[in-house]
Amino acid sequence: MAIVEVKVPQLSESVAEATLLQWKKKAGEAVKADEILVEVETDKVVLEVPAPSAGVLAEIVQPDGATVVADQLIARIDTAAVAGAAAPAPAAAPAAAPAATPAPAAPATAGGSKSDIAMPAAAKLMADNNLAAGSVAGTGKDGRVTKGDVLGAMQSGAASAGGSSAAAQKPANIPTGAPTSALPQVASPAAPNLGDRPEQRVPMTRLRARIAERLLQSQSTNAILTTFNEVNMQPVMDLRKTFQDQFVKEHGVKLGFMSFFVKAAVHALKKFPAVNASIDGNDIIYHGYFDIGIAVSSPRGLVVPILRNADQMSFADIEKKIAEYGQKAKDGKLSIEEMTGGTFSISNGGTFGSMMSTPIINPPQSAILGVHATKDRAVVENGQIVVRPMNYLAMSYDHRIIDGREAVLSLVTMKEALEEPARLLFDI
């Protein structure tokens, strides 16, 4: 037997511990080299743990939801074993009957009637939910119990638990807004029968807990004010319409609105350095670079990847990077480096239909721009009422280092750059 240990990968210096999500393999199953075994969630990113070598997953040392640290042993792989053979059982498993491999068919009741026999999938589902043999009526051939029979019985509550109340305490399948496979489920010790008013208790993920911590920190440590303005998006929309086809042909990516907002923000930050600064103790740090954070919604929560040196990026570079970050956020592949730092942030609630909001500063930054949905509105131009595609901009800022004058004028500068994009070319 040749045993290879599987350990937690190195974490960031600022991350002390992490949480194991759901194991993708079970003990006794074959694994390939570099095949992903489990994901490890920190308060910033989700890391994948690949198999260091091929073999059989001999033992899972740490279960789903366990709290682990860097280099901690979480599993063992037997490189000499063959899947399906008598692989060593996990340490946590009690001594079992001589048959190590579970029988696919459910046991029949006394007398061996076929009407008591469950199909393999149904038998496994019954076992997983602690349903007693014979508690589900079969509708299959010769009265056999099918998976559909078990699911129907569970939904109607007709099936009885086999000698325990575990099934009654199993959390209801309630939409939580996050992948349930990534959330360890926790049942209340004495969950009441709530009928058609079910509840589900799930632990807060590390990322969600970190988001909550940072937002509370921002509100409690910053003197946050928000200034508003409106911008006529017609010039930007006309530019996009004129050059969209050529832009896609040349760069392989669509010309969106966000690149204009990023460019306008950088244009304003150059004129008002305090908006691009941060506080460290009693010191103000004025950044000579422009790293723009783009708030992105992911299945596990809000993340803010960074556009490094945004002032040196072209429109195409910005659009490509935002698309890359969006896909990585969706897949949970953003790295710690991609979300570390940032001197200013942009949050686009307009993608979800938001008309107005007061964004919260992402510490240690001092300001954040909130972008909203562009809607046709009646506005007055030269004494005439006309219809224009208008967007409300909101900039929250830390009043400790940014005065109202700087905040208002920086937002006006962004507005002017969007309404006259030529300003971005001439830096005026």
Q: Read off the CATH number of the domain in which 7 is found.
A: 2.40.50.100
**Of the candidates 21, 44, 78, which is a domain's last residue?**
78
pLDDT at 296 over 60: yes
Q: What pLDDT digit, counting tens, does each position of 229-261 carry?
A: 999 999 999 999 999 999 999 999 999 999 999
- Three-class SS of residue 161? strand
Torsion from C-alpha of 289, 294, 299, 300, nearest 10 degrees: 40
pLDDT of residue 212: 85
**Which range has the top average pLDDT, 121-130, 191-200, 390-399?**
390-399
Whether 350 is covered by a domain: the verdict is yes
Query: At 317, is the pLDDT very low, low, confident or very high (cuts 50, 70, 90)?
Result: very high
According to DSSP, residue 337 is labeled G
pLDDT at 246: 96
Give the number of C-alpha atoms closer than 13 A to the C-alpha of residue 409, restricted to the C-beta side: 12
Same domain, 69 and 212: no
Treating both helix axes as pointing N-terminal to C-terminal, what angle do 315-331 and 234-251 enclose, rounded to 10 degrees? 80
> For residue 377, is pLDDT > 90?
yes
| CATH at residue 274 | 3.30.559.10
How many CA atoms are closer than 13 Å to the CA of 134, on its beta-carbon side?
7
* Torsion angle, alpha carbons of 111, 114, 119, 120, to 10: 40
d(CA 200, CA 382): 58
The verdict on residue 91 lying in a domain is no
Between these two residues, 209 and 359, which has the higher pLDDT value? Answer: 359
Domain that holds residue 62: 3-78
Catalytic residues: 399, 403
Q: How many domains does the chain have?
A: 2
Query: What's the pLDDT tens digit per position in 55-68?
Result: 999 899 999 888 88
Predicted pLDDT of residue 95: 43
Percentage of the chain modeled with pLDDT above 70:
78
Q: What is the DSSP string of 279-295?
A: EETTEEEE-SS--EEE-
pLDDT value for 43 = 74
- Among 30-39, 142-151, 228-237, 314-323, the minimum mean pLDDT is found in 142-151
- The pLDDT score that the predictor gives to residue 223 is 93
Token couple for 204: 């807060």
191 belongs to a structural domain: no
Confidence of residue 416 (pLDDT cuts 50, 70, 90): very high
The answer to whether position 109 is within a domain reads no
Higher pLDDT residue, 238 or 213? 238
Q: What is the pLDDT of residue 100?
A: 43
Return the pLDDT at 156.
64
Boundary (domain end) residue, out of 78, 104, 124: 78
What is the C-alpha to C-alpha distance for residues 386 and 282, in angstroms, rounded to an integer?
A: 50
Q: What is the DSSP letter of 83?
A: T
Whether residue 40 is predicted with pLDDT greater than 60 in this model: the reply is: yes
Q: With beta carbons less than 8 A apart as the criterion, state whether 76 and 52 touch.
A: no
Give alpha helix (H) positions in 167-314.
Answer: 206-221, 234-251, 258-271
Q: Is the pLDDT of residue 385 over 90?
A: yes
Check if the beta carbon of residue 184 is closer than 8 Å to that of residue 203: yes
Q: What is the pLDDT of residues 139-182, one digit of tens each?
A: 766 677 776 677 777 766 644 444 444 444 444 455 555 554 44
Structure tokens of 279? 């506080």
On whether residue 7 sits in a domain, the answer given is yes
pLDDT digits (tens, 9 = 90+) for 83-135: 554 444 444 444 444 444 444 444 444 344 444 577 666 776 777 677 777 77
The single-letter DSSP state of residue 42 is -
Split at pLDDT 50, 70, 90, the class of 399 is very high
Q: What are the structure tokens assigned to 244, written together?
A: 């969209």
pLDDT given for residue 345 in this prediction: 97
Which backbone phi and psi does 173 adopt, to 5 degrees? -85, 90
User: Where is 6: in which H helix or E strand?
Assistant: strand 3-7
DSSP class of 176: -
**Percent of the chain, pLDDT > 90?**
44
In sequence order, what are the beta bridge partners of 365?
278
Q: Look up the pTM and report it.
A: 0.65
Mean per-residue pLDDT over the chain, rounded: 81
**Cα dist. 62→3, 24, 73, 202 in Å?**
17, 13, 8, 19
Residues, the chain: 428
Q: Which two tokens stand for residue 76?
A: 């063992």
Residue 272 lies in a domain: yes
Q: Which of residues 95 and 13 earns the better pLDDT score?
A: 13
Distance CA 112, CA 184 (A): 38
pLDDT value of residue 90: 46
Place of tokens 């807060």: 204
CA distance 142 to 150: 16
| 3-state DSSP percent of the chain in helix, strand and coil, to 5 | 30, 25, 45
Query: Phi then psi for 209, rounded to 5 degrees?
Result: -65, -40
Asked if 233 and 389 count as a contact pair (C-beta separation under 8 A), the reply is yes
Final residue before a domain boundary, out of 55, 78, 101: 78
DSSP class of residue 351 equals: G
Report pLDDT for 184. Answer: 46
Confirm whether 127 is domain-assigned. Answer: no
Strand segments (E) across 295-363 = 296-298, 301-303, 306-307, 344-348
Distance CA 23, CA 202 (A): 18
- Could you give the residue ranges of the DSSP H alpha helices within 84-205? 120-128, 147-156
Please check whether residue 120 lies inside any domain of the structure: no
How is residue 342 written in tokens? 């940032």
Q: What is the pLDDT of residue 357?
A: 94
